[in-house]
Every structure is written in structure tokens, then in C-alpha cells.
Amino acid sequence: MHKITMLGTALIGRFYTLTLHSGRGRDRVHVLYSRTAERARQAAEEWGVATWTTDMAAAIDDPETDVVVVDLPNHLHRDAVLLAAQADKAVLCTKPLARTAGEALEMLEAVEKAGVFHGYLEDLIYTPKMLKAIQAVNAGAVGRVLWTRSRETHGGPHSAWFWDTEQSGGGAIVDLGCHCIELSRALVGKSVRPIDVVCWAGTQVHPIAAEDSAVGLLRYDGGAVGQFEVSWCFRGGMDLRDEVAGTEGTIWLNHWLRTGFELFTNVGPQGYVAEKTEGDRGWLFPVGDELNELGYVPMFDEMLNALDNGTVPLETFYDGYVVNAIMDACYRSVTSRQWEPVRLEVWRGEGPVAAQRRMVEYDEAHLLIKEEVMPDGKTKLILKEKASGKMVEKVTHAR
Amino acid sequence: MHKITMLGTALIGRFYTLTLHSGRGRDRVHVLYSRTAERARQAAEEWGVATWTTDMAAAIDDPETDVVVVDLPNHLHRDAVLLAAQADKAVLCTKPLARTAGEALEMLEAVEKAGVFHGYLEDLIYTPKMLKAIQAVNAGAVGRVLWTRSRETHGGPHSAWFWDTEQSGGGAIVDLGCHCIELSRALVGKSVRPIDVVCWAGTQVHPIAAEDSAVGLLRYDGGAVGQFEVSWCFRGGMDLRDEVAGTEGTIWLNHWLRTGFELFTNVGPQGYVAEKTEGDRGWLFPVGDELNELGYVPMFDEMLNALDNGTVPLETFYDGYVVNAIMDACYRSVTSRQWEPVRLEVWRGEGPVAAQRRMVEYDEAHLLIKEEVMPDGKTKLILKEKASGKMVEKVTHAR
Amino acid sequence: MHKITMLGTALIGRFYTLTLHSGRGRDRVHVLYSRTAERARQAAEEWGVATWTTDMAAAIDDPETDVVVVDLPNHLHRDAVLLAAQADKAVLCTKPLARTAGEALEMLEAVEKAGVFHGYLEDLIYTPKMLKAIQAVNAGAVGRVLWTRSRETHGGPHSAWFWDTEQSGGGAIVDLGCHCIELSRALVGKSVRPIDVVCWAGTQVHPIAAEDSAVGLLRYDGGAVGQFEVSWCFRGGMDLRDEVAGTEGTIWLNHWLRTGFELFTNVGPQGYVAEKTEGDRGWLFPVGDELNELGYVPMFDEMLNALDNGTVPLETFYDGYVVNAIMDACYRSVTSRQWEPVRLEVWRGEGPVAAQRRMVEYDEAHLLIKEEVMPDGKTKLILKEKASGKMVEKVTHAR
Amino acid sequence: MHKITMLGTALIGRFYTLTLHSGRGRDRVHVLYSRTAERARQAAEEWGVATWTTDMAAAIDDPETDVVVVDLPNHLHRDAVLLAAQADKAVLCTKPLARTAGEALEMLEAVEKAGVFHGYLEDLIYTPKMLKAIQAVNAGAVGRVLWTRSRETHGGPHSAWFWDTEQSGGGAIVDLGCHCIELSRALVGKSVRPIDVVCWAGTQVHPIAAEDSAVGLLRYDGGAVGQFEVSWCFRGGMDLRDEVAGTEGTIWLNHWLRTGFELFTNVGPQGYVAEKTEGDRGWLFPVGDELNELGYVPMFDEMLNALDNGTVPLETFYDGYVVNAIMDACYRSVTSRQWEPVRLEVWRGEGPVAAQRRMVEYDEAHLLIKEEVMPDGKTKLILKEKASGKMVEKVTHAR
């Protein structure tokens, strides 16, 4: 059982607190911190939290608290984490870990030096579908991973500070790309080194300084590619999809807009449908249990169980640091308009891997390139002559 | 925090125990009962349960136990429940509550007389999608409910006793129809009286005495119809779908085979995919978190929270009794080949309701029957002349 | 190349004419007949038809015409067909063939006696998906067919006459059930005799005399069951779905609302979306090519090619007659509240077939009832002892 | 009515010929040319074509032929087109038009100088869904287009020559990217100038010289981005999907693997399922009418109707030329590892357009950035202070 200090009372603080208090959970948010007293007081009352304060250090130092959860604007993550490390408390920090890799590294070093438990609250790794997809990939179900796609787009964040580059550190990349990048890493393998990126970013719709849309490609050691698509301009709800293509299979995940729950209503559902839903008439796509589908429930379960068991959670500050380093390279690529290397001062994964090809022997003289059943029922083989490199066809009869 | 005696160690016992021990739960299965020592011992070891026994009364009477969960073959539900009532323990019983309404009524009277907490473990009411669908329907999102469809089909149950009518009380109706019927009641409204049923049942594939397929229609007071489709002959996995049609909207739920998780694999996922999956190559449809998607997690959360708070859970033995009464009528209809009344000795819902029609005034002389946009962009109205009852058309120009 | 007289100028006449004139087609509608001069004139102008008239006999007798297409209100089908037979013209009649089996039989006898080509315009048999599904079923892809489901529901017909029982011969059953019943026959096998039906019908929403909703079950010789669901009360567009379950597989078709075309719009598509769409904002589900997706293009192609080649088309008046006979039994069942036999004065299919069971020998002493992979990776078998009939379990180890 | 010379007898020649001869079509393939007599003879016999030859010039010059269709390997397109232009015949050429923009320009100039009708056989523009999507976009249904995604991936081409860079001109980009690029142009608007591209390409699986996977981003004048994903390594069938995101809406198209036709079979469909299907057991996703779903039927209808009517078809050699120019830039970007300009010697579209932002006045002092309904039912607005540029929040109460 843990007593938790929650730093931050915005939507994410609400989701975190509801999650910790839901089900048959044995943990409680004990102290609530907000920068404004009014919000702290209101949230404490609404969410059933005993204590609230506008003094961050006091919130962290509360003697009953053993875990600090940071869900503040991005520019405040560092200070909060440093204070928690100083206070020798376990600390869980929301995504992105920091605004830059530099900031992230400072935070990583602080918690490691202090020896406190640290978790990176990348919730989308923990969605039930993603956990099972990672498990399937690790079991070899899709073979060698060649390509991942992670898409997170909606109409923009719900807090004013996120629209201000100074506080957030960027636009849609830093807000949403951090999710996509970490999902890609988890699917390709976290021990596989990210090499370089190319990234397009634009401000397509909103009168703001930051990018409201971006697409990036991340090359990994060994040849896999991670593609991310993020936007604050999407219409139709929140589009959360992931794909994996491998040598032996493929995975398609749709987390939000098509999950087997489809509702047509002429009158509206008379209440909240789901995060970032647009409209309340016609065909709507609610989600069953939002806190679970977004990964919050499995995330806190895993993190706090790891804390109890003295093990390392799935997502640590080191992961947050790598994500920040990749995002830094994305921003450099947007400016330089070319591929940019991912600069990692600290790399804890594996060294260089050679690229692989699939060499399937057909007979002594040929490699098999592919086979396909044709409309006339016959099977056509494409073969490569080893000696000449020439491609030839061979048609075999129906099974 | 509760200490639980689990009666039964088959698949459902495994799911229940894993659920109770999962996440950050504070409840523990403390005693495990099975009819054979070997299974009790093995399950206790595998699931981390302290005590096991083959003596049902001893399992129930264990002084630390305050909750008894019954997941035994159907013909043993009554005895287990009567013992738990005698022992003054809270009792949760799996579906179906009993083999017949007579048995169910005896069990209901026993727990009510003893004054013990009783919950009917109808898990599919608790799936995240169904909970939200019920909420939407109750909020009026689909208007007046006209029709529900609940379909549960797969390749047949995994325990031998369920294929034996003596122990189970029937075939696919008693195994799966109990889910479908209760889902229909929850969507139409549990206070609306079920009137009569017509049911087809057949033994289409298996060399057994019981029905392996059935379709039934249940008429409710006020005119709504609940349709259920159950089968032990379905190929392709476990087909769990629900639909609602109302005057203002419609809901489509797909709980298992199309949930936004799609996997193609040429090599197999190298492990368990999901309950009743067929095959392990090609396109597969895993589910994210099986215990949650099947409703087990929300079900035990709600039940045990109700027990803690002294409130009535969503599903009680009374609900189980009503379901049994409806299934009894289904079996009578299969034999008589006509509609059969639902016989409820105890009815706690509302009295007769008049059927409703939608009367939309178009002008003084006409009712509006419908309107539709035509391919040429014009809108066509169908009107009914109040005086003559004659139907007429009226075309209006595009918006 | 054919010159066609089109009797009727409502929505279906428009669809038929557009279809015949579409693509690279070589056939032309040459004469248009409507009961009112204004509609005939307008339609002829809009659809590019040379001649129009309000004299049905003259339209049929036009010397250039060699094919008559009947798309009039149901109560006029008989007279039109009898005139066409007299005039020795090929005749294609829209669905339902007639209001009753008696009327249908009279029409069948007339065309057969006259020896003219006759086609029953059951378009939904000809949708590209259904044609391929029938082909797959005939090839054995799903094994022995056990159950079919055909659902057609929307907000009601677009012509006033269809809301008037006198002209239409009934409500949703006669309007939509005729499609569903013929789809079921095509999937189960048209040579398999339909035995009896049970049917529920209600007037749930509209202030009309006819049923606006119905569900029926049709038993076939040999044990298959065809289920149909029809309604004029559905909200959310036009719900056209078909399912087949067989001993070796299953088929799910969704013809209209989920076909891989999904559009979210905040402003509307600024035009017609698809037949019976509701609303023009939010998530919409258009169809690619409506005339093709509804089967009109393949239907006229097949019919006119059959006429050219002197072969029998897929759907003849005999099929229309059988459908009417089944619908007659449905209406009787609605009144009698019990199963009613299908009365077929003329049966051209096969004689009685014995019901089948699947007997899979496991070993000398046991039949195999089923096998399933369990969450622990083991495979569980359910076996039936041949001697005792007792069911037993056997667990085998993971592959 | 047209008499057609078909140059080429591979899979695409089969599809083209079947299409031209299908339905009630009035056009006929009259001469068949193949490089090998055996294939020409066999195809002519199988497809019912009167004449065959291995002499390309003779095939084109046949006096009865008025239309030449080119479906030869890419390196032969130019010669075939130049001969057809010389012979003053209408010429339709399969995709890609050429191997490079230089070649394409030469072909464009030849047909324009000769004044012959020319059509670019980009079939995927003509799929029923894409035609309707383009229509919806043109009608403003999604507002200003911001981003398109076009994905075509499968297990590789079915002809040996396509695996040989010399004959094909490249790998997956030139094979599949040409489709994706033209789809993007059609959605963004063909008159909008393509500016520059960045492209990743890899040889991830096959032992070949060309790229077997690529992802590219194409920036348009005005700020829209077109994304394409192509691969010869995909497992699970043929993945054909398109997406559009605009300021007012979004479109999702799935052309092949999820079209509302889902088949589970334990025994196989006993025949051809659909192009590039993998496996024949388990869950399969056939398509209804392959020739129509791939756009062949609407394509030839539109092209030949345009020829008859003396109008310009949807797709001309100029379009093919622009696509080649964009692909050339992609290959340069793969090498240079940076954005590369699209070099168009001939541009027939519009001149530069300014980028747009959405400026929604909230009140005199603020712009509205976004609004969202929160879980507590309140609506939150993000506003930008015009004077300071500062972002502020405002919460309003539920509707």
C-alpha cells in the first residue's frame, strides 16, 4: 500500500487519481499539489484527497508520502524530480520526461544517484492491446520487425500551457511523438539502437508558433524503420493506431475509434463519450473503460508492483531520456531538411547489428524470391538464378 | 479486504482466482475446494492459494473465509449455496444460477432468509463495453428500446460435465442463453416484465442428447423483443456480439473477434491467443486483456465494493432466478412449438405498460410517417391523412 | 442489344434505368410507363428515354420492345406480367414477385405457358459479395450450412403505396423479408425444401396497420435454419448484413454501413451519401458504387446475358413463388403464434434428407466431441464413451 | 464500339481483357501481342481473342484496331507508345507510364504531337471508393486537405521482369509508389504543384538490387503533405489503404483486406480468393468483384466513353509524366538523404499559393484555438490573447 503525492491537477491528474483509487486498489493519493490554491482545493474535494497545498516541496516532503507522481507542465518536470530525489522518494513522471535530452539526462542522473525508484509514465505502452502485441512480437509472431507505424492525432491538447512552446518544449512532436517513438522502440526492441531520423513538421492550421503536425521516420540499427504521425489538426476524435510489419506477419491496433463499440444516436448520449470525441449525434465510437484502454490501470499496477517487488518497471527514466534524444534529432531534421543522427551520450543497449536478407534456396541453381496463387488457380514462382542474378518465372499447377 | 473460499478449479475457477489476485487487488482466495484432491492441490500450488480441501462444508466453514464463490457444475450450485447460507457467508454464484427456476427460487429464498449478501456472477453484464452501453441506453441515447440481439457461439464448453444434460440441466441454452437473456434484460430494463418466448433448438452437429444450437425470441411487456442466438457449433473462435435497436439509435458491440486488434502471422503467436480461438496461423483476433474484456475484473470489483458498502450489487440471485424462468419457458417452447409464457412466481418489477406508437404531427390533416433524402438531392416525405388513413407522398427541395 | 419497356418511374425505376444505361452497356430503356403523365414525362426527360406513355398495354406492345421490366407497386405486378406474357415479351419483375403465393403461382403459370423468358429481380442475390459468398459455400468452404442470418432494416420505404397494406400486401416482411428469405435459400441450397416457419411481427413505432418489424425462423429439410430480421424502425442508415455458419466455417457480410469507406465530416458531404443514410455530419459510411453494391449491375448483366444465350437466369419466377409461399407461412405464424408449414403446391427441388451428426472416432472406445487450447497452453479434449455415453476429459500437452 | 490491340499477356493483360469483355460491354480485344508465341496463342485461346502475333508493329497497325492498350514491362512502354502514335491510334498505357520523367516526357510529346487520344491506366484512381472519395473532397467534405496517406504493400510483383531494375526502372517505388503518388495528387488537387520530397528506401528482405520497401513524403504548394508507404515484404495479403485528413474531416478507405466480407474456413475456399491473398484457411478477406474493386471496370468505361465523346479522360499521359517526375525526386532523395525538389519541365497546374491558418475570432481580444468536452461534462476553451500571444484557458458549463 502506497501513499502518493500527486503534483498537478489537470486532466491527466484526474485520470491518474481516478485510476489509483479505482477498482479494489490499495493505494491512495494523499497529497495534492497545484500551483493555484483554488484548483488544488477543488480537485482534492472532488477526488477525495485528504490534503492539498500550493507548496511543491512541502507536498513532496510530506512524511506519509512514499511515492511522488509528477504530472505538471513539461518545464516543471526537472525541478519536481530533483526535489523528489533529494527527498528520497520514489518518483513517477508523466510523458515527455523533459523538454530536451539534456534536461532528461540531468533528471536520470539525479534519480540514479539518489538511488530512488523511478518510472516513466508512458501509458500507451501499457494499453492492454499494446502489452499483448509486444508479447506477440517478442514471441516471434511477426518474425523480424521491419517497420512500425504509430499514429496519434486529435484536435490539440486541453491545457493552455501545451500550446506555449516555452513551457512545453515544442508542439505535436513533443506532446504526441514521445508516445509514438516509445511504442516503436518497444516493438523493434529497446536494445536496438536508434540511428537517425528524418522529420517533416508544419503549422498547418493553428495560429501558433509550434508545429501542429509532423511525420517522422526513425532508422534503427539492423534496418528497421519506425514511422510516427502526430497532429493537433485531426477531425473525428482521437486517432490512436499502431501497426507492425515483420518478415512473418503484421499487427494492426486501433485503440480508440474502432474497438467493437459503435453507437448511432439521434439524440446524443447525454454525457461524456470519450476523450476528444467530436460531436454527440450520429455514429459515435465510445470506448469501454477509458482508464484501462489508455493503459493507466495496467501502468500503475505494474509500476507499483515493481516498487513493491524491488524490480525494474517496464518504463524508466532511461527510456524517457532516449525518447527525448530522438525528439531532439527530429527537431534538428526539421530545420536541416535532412537525416540527423540520434545523439545518445548514454547507450545501454546492444552494439551494431548487420542487416539481414532472406535467402531461401529453391534448388542448387536458384533462390526463391516469392510465390503466389494466380486467378487461374496455378502457383507462380519467381526465382533468381544464383550465377547470373537473372530473375525467372516458373508456373506450377494447382494444389 | 476479503478472504475467499473458491469452490471449483476448472477454467472458470482459474479466471476468477487470477482476477481476484490481479492488479493491485486487496482480496485473496484463501481456500480452494475441488472434488478431486489432485486438482485441488495442483490449482492451489499454481494459483498461490494457501489451503485446499475436498470437503465442501469445511471449505465454506473455514473461519477466516467471509465470501464463498461457487463455480461448480450446475447440479452442485444449490447444495453449495445452501451450505453458504447456513454458514452465514456472503455467496457469489456463477452462471447459470441453477438448472431450473424451481432450484433457483429455492436458492434465492435460502440466501434471503439467511440475510447473506448474494451476487450472481453474470460476467458479460460487466464487460467494459456492456457497462457503457447500458449507461448510454439508460441515458436515452437510443430512445425506447425496440429490439436486442445477443449472440454467443463457439465450439462448445471445455468441461465434460457441461456436455451431460444431467449435470448441466441442458445444452447451449442453459450454457450460453443465460448470458444473452440477462444482457437483453439489462438493456430493455430489468423492471420490464418478460412475457413469453418462442424458441428453436437443434442438435445439428454433435452426437449428444442436448441442443447444440438455439435461437429464441423473448417478448417484453410494452412490445420490445429480445433475440438470442447460441451455439456450440460455431467455427472461427468465440462470437460474442450484442446489438440494440431503439427509436432514436442503435448500438453494435463486438466483444471478442473484432476489437481493434488484428494479427496476421505465418508462424503462430507461440502461445495462447484468446479463449476458444481456432488455429494459430493467418489472421488472428486476440483480445487485449481477457480478464477485463470478459468482465471478470469489473464484476468482482463491483460485487466486493457493494459488499463493503452494504449496497445491492448489479446482479443478484433474483436476476439469476428470472433468467432460469425464461430458460424454462424456452425449453417448453422447443417442445410445444409455440409461444410459451414466462412463469414468474415472484415478480419484483413493474406492472403492465401500454404499447407506444410515434405520432408526429406534420400539419393539421397529416401525420409524418418518414422522410428521406433521395439520390437527386430532394427530400421525400411520406404522410398519412388523418381522416382517411391514406398514405401520400410529398417531395421538398434540397436543403 | 435489347430495347426495354420500363413499367414504373419511382426510385427503383431510376436505379434500374441508370444501371441499364451505365458503363459500356449496349441496352436501352426505350419506353417508360407511369400511371401519371407528369412523372412519365419528367422521368423520360431526365433519364434520356425516347418514349413515354400512361397506357400500360401500349407500353408493353411497343413493337421495338423485346423486354418488359416491371417495377410497379406490388398489387399491379400480376396484371403487368400477364400482359407481357400475352404480348410474348421477355419479362423481368421486381421483388416481391406478388402479394401472395396464389398470385405468384398464377404469374408463374402464365409465363411458362407463354414460353417467355422470365427473371425475378432479386438484386441482393447479385451483390458482388453475395455472389462470391454463394460460390464459396457451394465450393464447401463452410462445410454443411447450419444457420443463415439475413438482416435488412432501415427507416421505411420511400413510396407511399408501400405503407398501404392493400397495395403492398403486407409490411416489412413483404418489403424486406422477401430479400432475406431468398438469400437464405441461395446459401442453404435452393434445392433444399423449406419446411416450416415461426415468425414474430410487431408494429412498434409507426401509426400504421402493417408490421414495421419482424423476425422469422425458417427450418429446412435436413436441419438448417434461416433467420431473418426486418424493420422499418432502424436508426443509423440501411443495415444490410448476412451471416452463414457451417460445420467448417462462417461468413460475415456487411453490405452497406461498414464496407471499408469511412468519412468524418464537420460540414457535410454536400450531396447524397447513400440510400437511407441518416444525417450528413460526423462519421458517415458511404458506399463506393451504389448501383453495383446493391447488385443492379451484375443482375441485369446476368439476366440479359441469359436471355441472349437462351439459358435460365439465377433467379426466375419460380424462386419468387417459393419466397411468397414462405412469407404466407410467416403471416400465418404471426397469427397462430406457432410454427406453420410452408405450403408449396409446386416443388421442384429435392426430396427429404436425413439430419446429419458429426461422428469423429477418437479411439475404439471414444468419440471426439471437441478440443480446445487452454490458457496454460495445454489442449483439452472432450470425449464421449461409446458404450456408456458418458463424457470425459483428457488433457494433452502443448504442441 | 472499339476494337482493341492488347500488348502484353501477363496478369494485368488478363485483368484488362476480362474487364473489356465483361458485363454487357460492347468493346472487344481483337489482337493480342506477346513476345513469345506460346503465351500469345494460349492467352488468345483462353480469353477468346481472334488474332495473336509476336510482331508488335503488326499488332498496332492492324487495320481494324482503333485502340492500343500497352501492358508490357516498363522498359517497352516508350517504343510501344511511339509506334501507336505513329499509327495514329488511341493509346492507353498501364502504370507507371515510364521508368523516368525523361522517358515519360518523350512519350507525352509523341502522343500530343500526333494528336491521338491518350489515357494513363492508373486503375486505383477509379476504384468505386476512390472516385467517391475524390468527389467528397472536391465538394468540400473534409475542408482544406492537409495530409494524405496511401499505402500499397504486398509480397512482391508476380512477373520476373519487375524484380529486375533494368527492365522495371526501380523497385517498390516505381511499382507501387506510382499509384500512391497519383492518389495523393487526385485528393490534394492535380492543379496544386508538388514541391519537394524526402524518401526512405531499403532492401529489407529480398536478395535483390532494388528497394523492397520505401516511405516518402511529398510537400505540395500551400502546405499539404502526401505520404506513401510501399513494400514488397508485407505479410497477410495485399494492403491497399488510403487516408485523407483535412481541416473539416477525414476519410479512411480500406480497399482490400477489410471490405465487409469476412470468411473463416477450416477447409479452404477451394479456389482463388483474391489477388495476393496469403493462405487459404482461417479468417480470409475476399473481395466481392475484383475487377470492379480494383477500378478496372470504371477505368475502361470512363476512358472509352471519353474517347467516344471527344473529351479528356481523368488520367492522361501528362499525369503519368508528373508521377514519374515525383518518383525521380524520390530516388534522388534516397541517395542524397535530404529533401529534393520535384523537377517539372512542363507544369500545367496553378502557380504558388500562400499557406493558410485558421483564425477564429473568439472576442475582440482573443482567438479561439480549440474547444473540448471534458469528462466532467464541462467544455474547455483554449484562447490566444491577440496582444500578448499568451495562451489561456476558459471553462464553460455543459450544454
B398 pLDDT above the threshold of 60: no
CB count in 10 Å sphere of residue D397: 7
| Best A18, A20, A24, A244 residue to mutate vs chain B (most B CBs within 10 Å) | A24
CB contact under 8 A, B283 and D285: yes
The CA dihedral of C139, C140, C141, C146, to the nearest 10 degrees, is 130
Task: Taking residues B155-167, report their average pLDDT.
Answer: 92
Beta strand B225-231 pairing with B282-284: unpaired
* Angstrom distances, CA of residue A162 to CA of A37, A166, D394: 21, 9, 15
Positive or negative torsion for Cα C346, C348, C351, C352: negative
In contact, D50 and D30? CB cutoff 8 Å = yes
* Euclidean distance between CA atoms C204 and C214, whole angstroms: 10
Which segment of A369-378, B385-394, D328-337 scores lowest on mean pLDDT? Answer: A369-378
Per the listing, cell 433521395 goes with B374
Residue-wise DSSP of C18-56: HHHHSTTB--EEEEEE-SSHHHHHHHHHHHT-SEEES-H
Per the listing, cell 527514466 goes with A317
Contacts of A159 (CB under 8 A, 6+ apart): A10, A11, A73, D382, D393
List of chains touching C (3+ CB pairs within 8 A):
A, B, D
Mean of all residue pLDDT scores within chain D: 94
Residues of D in contact with A75 (CB under 8 A): none
Buried b (16+ CB within 10 A) or exposed e, D161-184: bbbbeebbbbbbbbbbbbbbbbbb
* Euclidean distance between CA atoms B268 and B263, whole angstroms: 10
Is B147 in a helix, a strand, or coil?
strand
The tens digit of pLDDT for each residue in B256-315 reads 999 999 998 888 877 777 887 888 888 999 999 999 999 999 999 999 999 999 999 999
Task: Taking residues B249-254, report their average pLDDT.
Answer: 96
Residues of C in contact with A282 (CB under 8 A): 278-279, 281-284
Q: What is the CA radius of gyration of chain D?
A: 24
Enclosing H/E stretch for B42: helix B37-47
pLDDT at D381: 92
Q: Where are the alpha helices (DSSP H) in D87-233?
A: 101-114, 128-138, 165-168, 172, 178-188
pLDDT at C399: 45
CB contact under 8 A, A283 and C284: yes
How far does C281 lie from chain D, in Å, by closest CA?
A: 9
pLDDT at C398: 53
Report which residue type is found at B259. T
* Euclidean distance between CA atoms B122 and B177, whole angstroms: 12
* Euclidean distance between CA atoms A245 and B281, whole angstroms: 16
**Cβ-based interface (< 8 Å): residues of B facing D:** 235-237, 264-266, 278-279, 281-285
Split at pLDDT 50, 70, 90, the class of D398 is: low
SS in 3 state form for A132-197? HHHHHHHCCCCCCEEEEEEEEECCCCCCHHHHCHHHHCCCHHHHHHHHHHHHHHHHHCCCCCEEEE
Enclosing H/E stretch for C373: strand C366-373
Beta strands in chain B (DSSP E): 3-7, 28-33, 51-53, 67-70, 90-94, 118-121, 145-153, 194-202, 213-220, 225-231, 239-246, 249-254, 261-265, 282-284, 340-341, 361-363, 366-373, 379-385, 391-396
Instruction: Name which of A255, A184, A194, A185 is nearest A223 in CA terms.
Output: A194
Per the listing, cell 464459396 goes with C136
Instruction: Name which of D360, D350, D351 is nearest D382 in CA terms.
Output: D360
Split at pLDDT 50, 70, 90, the class of C1 is: confident
Is C70 in a helix, a strand, or coil?
strand
* Euclidean distance between CA atoms C166 and C75, whole angstroms: 8
Cα angle vertex B194, ends B191, B195, to 5°?
135
Split at pLDDT 50, 70, 90, the class of D399 is: very low
* Euclidean distance between CA atoms C345 and D14, whole angstroms: 47
| Chains A & B: contacts with CB separation below 8 Å | 164
pLDDT at A342: 98
CB count in 10 Å sphere of residue D395: 10
pLDDT at C28: 96
CB contact under 8 A, B237 and D279: no
Report which residue type is found at D304. L
How far does D148 lie from chain B, in Å, by closest CA?
A: 22
Which segment of C214-223, C360-369, D52-61 scores lowest on mean pLDDT? Answer: C360-369
Walk along chain A (399 residues) and give the pLDDT tens digit of each residue: 899 999 999 999 999 999 999 988 889 999 999 999 999 999 999 999 999 999 999 999 999 999 999 999 999 999 999 999 999 999 999 999 999 999 999 999 999 999 999 999 999 999 999 999 999 999 999 999 999 999 999 999 989 999 999 999 999 999 999 999 999 999 999 999 999 999 999 999 999 999 999 999 999 999 999 999 999 999 999 999 999 999 999 999 999 999 999 998 888 877 777 887 888 888 999 999 999 999 999 999 999 999 999 999 999 999 999 999 999 999 999 999 999 999 999 999 998 988 888 889 999 999 999 888 888 888 889 999 999 999 999 988 754
Phi first, then psi, for residue A83 (nearest 5°) are -65, -40
As a residue count, chain A comes to 399
CB count in 10 Å sphere of residue B172: 26
B246 pLDDT above the threshold of 60: yes
The tens digit of pLDDT for each residue in C260-281 reads 999 888 888 777 778 878 788 8
pLDDT at A398: 52
How would you list the strands of the sheet with D3-7, edge to edge? D51-53, D28-33, D3-7, D67-70, D90-94, D118-121
pLDDT at B34: 97
Q: Where are the alpha helices (DSSP H) in chain C?
A: 11-21, 37-47, 56-61, 77-86, 101-114, 128-138, 165-168, 172, 178-188, 290-293, 296-309, 317-336
The tens digit of pLDDT for each residue in B13-71 reads 999 999 999 988 889 999 999 999 999 999 999 999 999 999 999 999 999 999 999 99
How far does D157 lie from chain B, in Å, by closest CA?
A: 20
Cα angle vertex A206, ends A202, A211, to 5°?
30
pLDDT at A133: 95
Q: Quick one: closest CA in A to B269, which residue?
A: A141
List of chains touching B (3+ CB pairs within 8 A):
A, C, D
pLDDT at B378: 83
pLDDT at A311: 97
Give the global pTM.
0.95
Contacts of C105 (CB under 8 A, 6+ apart): C321, C345, C346
The tens digit of pLDDT for each residue in C171-196 reads 999 999 999 999 999 999 999 999 99
Cα angle vertex C283, ends D258, A162, to 5°?
105
| Best B257, B263, B267, B283 residue to mutate vs chain D (most D CBs within 10 Å) | B283
How far does C361 lie from chain A, in Å, by closest CA?
A: 28
Enclosing H/E stretch for D19: helix D11-21
Residues of D in contact with A370 (CB under 8 A): 155-156, 206, 232
Which ipTM score applies to this complex?
Answer: 0.93
Is B33 in a helix, a strand, or coil?
strand
SS in 3 state form for chain A? CCEEEEECCCHHHHHHHHHHHCCCCCCEEEEEECCCHHHHHHHHHHHCCCEEECCHHHHHHCCCCCEEEECCCHHHHHHHHHHHHHCCCEEEEECCCCCCHHHHHHHHHHHHHHCCCEEEECHHHHCHHHHHHHHHHHCCCCCCEEEEEEEEECCCCCCHHHHCHHHHCCCHHHHHHHHHHHHHHHHHCCCCCEEEEEEEEECCCCCCCCCCEEEEEEEECCCCEEEEEEECCCCCCCEEEEEEEECCEEEEEECCCCCCEEEEECCCCCCCCCCCCCCCCEEECCCCCHHHHCCHHHHHHHHHHHHHHCCCCCCCHHHHHHHHHHHHHHHHHHHHCECEECCCCCCCCCCCCCCCCCCCEEECCEEEEEEEECCCCCEEEEEEECCCCCEEEEEECCC
CB contact under 8 A, D380 and A231: no
**Cβ-based interface (< 8 Å): residues of A facing C:** 235-237, 264-266, 278-279, 281-285
Residues of B in contact with C184 (CB under 8 A): none
* Euclidean distance between CA atoms A375 and D111, whole angstroms: 34
pLDDT at B4: 97
Bridge partners of residue D313, in order along the sequence: none
In contact, D107 and D81? CB cutoff 8 Å = yes
* Euclidean distance between CA atoms A265 and B136, whole angstroms: 10
pLDDT at B399: 45
The tens digit of pLDDT for each residue in D293-323 reads 999 999 999 999 999 999 999 999 999 999 9
Is D218 in a helix, a strand, or coil?
strand
